Amino acid sequence: MMKLVALVPLLPLIGFLINGLFGARIKDRAHLVAIPAAGLSCLVAFIVFFQTIGGATLDWDVYSWLKVGNLTVPIGILVDPLSTVMMLVVTFVGLLIHIYSIGYMHGDRSFARFFTYLNLFMFSMLVLVLANNYLLMFLGWEGVGLCSYLLIGFWYEKKSAADAGKKAFVVNRIGDAGFMLGLFFIWSTFGSLKYTEVFAAIDPALGAGIYTTITLLLFVGAMGKSAQLPLYVWLPDAMEGPTPVSALIHAATMVTAGVYMVARSNPLFNLAPFSLEVVAWVGALTAVFAATIALVQNDIKKVVAYSTISQLGYMFLGAGAGAYASAVFHLATHAFFKALLFLGAGSVIHSLHGEQDIRKMGGLWKAMPITAWTFLLASLANGGIFPLAGFWSKDEILFNAFERGLTIPWLLGLIGAFLTAFYMFRLFFQVFTGPFRGDAHTAHHLHESPPNMAYPLLVLGALSVVAGVLFGFPPDRGLYHRFVAPIFEAAHESEGAAIHAAASSEILMAALSLSVALLGIGLAYLFYVKRPELPARLADKMQGVYRLLLNKYWVDELYQAIFIDFGKRFCRFLWGFDSRVVDGAVNGSGWLTMRLSVMSAWSDLKIVDGLVNAIADLIQGGSVTLRRLHTGAIQNYILAMALGILGMVVFYLFV
């Protein structure tokens, strides 16, 4: 029965092939292929999940893929608690977004192409999480990267969308280069790329240096895929794609691939304490950095996008603290409430006929009650408010960071919690409360989303409320933690005792985190409900800071100047060097050869041939003269002899 798991990725692949081959004929019925494929994949995933709860696991080499020298890589499937959690997130959230897309993409001329890409993405993501070796994971990794490029630039007629797709592709290649180097080091060190063989071959005697090198290279890949400093710049621009894409790829699944890869590689990271510290610091800094930018953004999707970057930072903070289970727990809860936020934003955009500027919204609660209520639940969950899902997972991360002595990253995480609550409720109040600030025509046509868009909101809203307490209570020992415990035993053996000994302080830490979040909500209420004039006054007083945040620290401009503009100038320099110096030398050599050949031809003609011809002419002229002297008359000969003798006498007498 466990081998049914092969159907989980194969069903979306079949949907992709059918729509890819016949989409031009199917057109607006493409969802009738794509959704059953996603739904059946989700159903099989749940069957496998229940078998995994019963203790069943599977490490199945389906067939040998590559065999080169000492390297053997299978096409293999690994079913364990970690891959099962990821599989459920991908298939379940993916199914809901497929259903939502029916209404959102209705009427789009590329309707069939959209669902084709969605199925391909699900297949690639499932290959990534179910692979039993690093190379097959990398294949899925690149597959989701391709799908991201295709879906971000889905409306490729828009230059901004096409540019965003290319930007995502290029930035992720930087991270992927690090990932590939990490794989080379893994193979050269352990002689295999299969998880079980690599982890079994781990030897602390090799020294921390090799493990630090491998894990830092792997983390470079994770930074690119999961949009962490400094490789985060592609994700905000990715909002150019359709909103369901933002929900599926850039909130719930693809961007969490880096977190999954770090968690999967936990035996390697456990032997590289420096790498873990780097992961924690990068995560904490990213969480605060992205949150500060989200404070002042006016595009509804951009706010949620920067929130995603920030929450991914919390996941890496948890992983860096060695709390891999907490990091993956936040990954799962985040998938629910962040997908809900994006789908709620899409519902608003759909009702406002494409408008994304929150300054032109307001008062949508009455017209869109389902969207408003579910968006509120997602905002509370994202803000870490008890007892919603985000509270349990985020609190665990902060607590573990504090207990493991990561004081400054923990403090940054606490600041991030305050900022998160503030910007989320700034967004909520500006969109759903107060008067409507758009035009009269739009106000007249405000409406709630159709059922196929509303139902996924309700399901995700319910999960945003109950998932945390249902699976995460009590903290570190809930259903979820007991389920994944075998995967992270090594990490818990070293730190578990200390954590449990300090369990009494967790309530205090949770209360502190909750208080900070409530303070953020209260401040947002003051600024955007009670005293809406305050933000403008504060922006005027702190214009420098406001412009800095509004322009996102000018990081994109800095990258443009350093890497793109400089790159262009350097390329122009190389072109000039090639055309003027290299080509100049070649062309100069040709010119010089031609000049020398002309001179050689002239010297040959005028000097060599001239000398030869002159001698010939001289001889010829002399011979003519001599012929004339030979007259045959004896008297002439006697006269010549007499003249010669006379000349000799004169020479002798006078010279």
User: What average pLDDT does range 248-266 have in this prediction?
Assistant: 91
Query: What's the pLDDT band for 1 if we cut at 50, 70, 90?
Result: low
Position 614 scores a pLDDT of: 81
Residue 95 has pLDDT above 50, yes or no: yes
Q: Which of 124-138, 349-363, 612-626 has the lowest mean pLDDT?
A: 612-626
CA distances 383 to 168, 285, 348, 457, 651, Å, are: 28, 18, 21, 18, 130
Query: What's the pLDDT band for 568 if we cut at 50, 70, 90?
Result: confident
- Range 90-118 burial, b when 16+ CB lie within 10 A, else e: bbbbbbbbbbbbbbbbeeeebbbbbbbbb
Answer whether 41's CB lies under 8 Å from 7's CB: yes
**In this structure, how many other beta carbons lie within 10 angstroms of the beta carbon of residue 634?**
8
Answer whether 208's CB lies under 8 Å from 272's CB: yes
CA 365 to CA 401: how far, in whole Å?
38
Write the pLDDT tens digit of every residue in 511-523. Answer: 999 999 999 999 9
Pick the more confident residue, 152 or 629: 152
What pTM was computed for the model? 0.88
Per the listing, tokens 């982890």 go with 199
**Residue 61, SS3?**
strand
Position 175 scores a pLDDT of: 96
User: What average pLDDT does range 556-565 have in this prediction?
Assistant: 90
Interhelix angle 389-403/324-351, rounded to 10 degrees, is 140
Residue 92 in tokens: 């379940």
Position 314 scores a pLDDT of: 97
- For strand 58-68 and strand 71-79, is the pairing parallel, antiparallel, or unpaired? antiparallel
Position 567 scores a pLDDT of: 85
Residue 7 has pLDDT above 80, yes or no: yes
Q: Which of 204, 207, 146, 210 is nearest to 182 (CA)?
A: 210
Position 655 scores a pLDDT of: 65
Position 499 scores a pLDDT of: 47
**Residue 14, SS3?**
helix
Q: Which of 101-115, 269-283, 431-445, 484-498 has the lowest mean pLDDT?
A: 484-498
Alpha-helical (H) ranges within 105-253 are 111-130, 134-152, 159-190, 195-200, 208-225, 234-237, 243-247
**Residue 194, SS3?**
strand
User: What average pLDDT does range 603-615 have in this prediction?
Assistant: 81
Residue 341 has pLDDT above 80, yes or no: yes
Instruction: Point out which residues pair with 77 in neighbouring strands.
Output: 60, 131
Query: What's the pLDDT band for 637 if we cut at 50, 70, 90?
Result: confident
Position 478 scores a pLDDT of: 85
Query: What's the pLDDT band for 610 if we cut at 50, 70, 90?
Result: confident
Position 356 scores a pLDDT of: 94
Write the pLDDT tens digit of every residue in 200-248. Answer: 999 999 989 999 999 999 999 999 999 999 999 999 999 999 999 999 8
Residue 158 has pLDDT above 70, yes or no: yes
Residue type at 589? S
Position 639 scores a pLDDT of: 76
Residue 364 has pLDDT above 80, yes or no: yes
Position 643 scores a pLDDT of: 82
Write the pLDDT tens digit of every residue in 79-90. Answer: 999 999 999 999
User: What average pLDDT does range 114-143 have in this prediction?
Assistant: 96
Position 490 scores a pLDDT of: 53
Position 494 scores a pLDDT of: 42
Answer whether 235's CB lies under 8 Å from 308's CB: yes
Position 626 scores a pLDDT of: 66
Residue 113 has pLDDT above 50, yes or no: yes
Position 483 scores a pLDDT of: 94
Query: What's the pLDDT band for 496 if we cut at 50, 70, 90?
Result: very low
Position 148 scores a pLDDT of: 94
Query: What's the pLDDT band for 495 if we cut at 50, 70, 90?
Result: very low
One DSSP character per residue, 375-435 reads: HHHHHHHHTT-TTSHHHHHHHHHHHHHHHTT-HHHHHHHHHHHHHHHHHHHHHHHHHHSS-
Query: What's the pLDDT band for 65 if we cut at 50, 70, 90?
Result: confident
Position 180 scores a pLDDT of: 97
Which value, in Å, is the radius of gyration of the alpha carbons in the chain?
Answer: 38
Q: Which of 617, 7, 552, 621 is nearest to 289 (CA)?
A: 552
> For the chain, what is the mean pLDDT?
91
Position 125 scores a pLDDT of: 97
User: What average pLDDT does range 516-531 have in this prediction?
Assistant: 96
Query: What's the pLDDT band for 251 if we cut at 50, 70, 90?
Result: confident
Residue 461 has pLDDT above 90, yes or no: yes
Position 493 scores a pLDDT of: 43
Residue 183 has pLDDT above 90, yes or no: yes
Write the pLDDT tens digit of every residue in 268-321. Answer: 999 999 999 999 999 999 999 999 999 999 999 999 999 999 999 999 999 999
Position 335 scores a pLDDT of: 95
